[in-house]
Amino acid sequence: MLLDALVACAGVTLNAVATALKLDVRGARVTAEGDLDFRGTLGVAKDAPVGFRAIRLKFDVEGNLSAEEQATLLKLTERYCVVFQTLKTPAAFDVSLSAEPA
């Protein structure tokens, strides 16, 4: 689910940036993959970490773009993708639980 959210956000952001800059982008394929030890998530090994250790995000863009335009498109997509930025610089969390008597 996390990688799906990243791909969706990055794709929408890439499209918005390309449109705003009037870049010749006719299509794009965004993929993400990551390294995850399921033993930690499943509680099988207490010493195994929970969560991704590495994530790789890839853009395959169809269009006539110079090297400079490609670099700008990537830089701005990274800058404005909310999911990417949240993963790169984690937000502060406040977690609580409340229960009502049965």
Indicate the domain borders of the chain: 2-88
Q: Let me know: does 55 contact 32? Beta carbons within 8 Å.
A: yes
At 76 the pLDDT is 98
Q: Let me know: does 59 contact 69? Beta carbons within 8 Å.
A: no
What mean pLDDT do residues 44-70 have? Answer: 94
Percent of the chain past pLDDT 70, that is, above it, reads 100
Burial of 47 (0-12, 13-18, 19+ CB in 10 A): exposed
At 37 the pLDDT is 87
pTM recorded for the entire structure: 0.88
- Between CA 102 and CA 93 the distance in angstroms is 29
CATH 3.40.50.920 fits 2-88, yes or no: no
- Between CA 79 and CA 41 the distance in angstroms is 30
Closest by Cα among 5, 2, 10, 22 to 74: 10
At 64 the pLDDT is 95
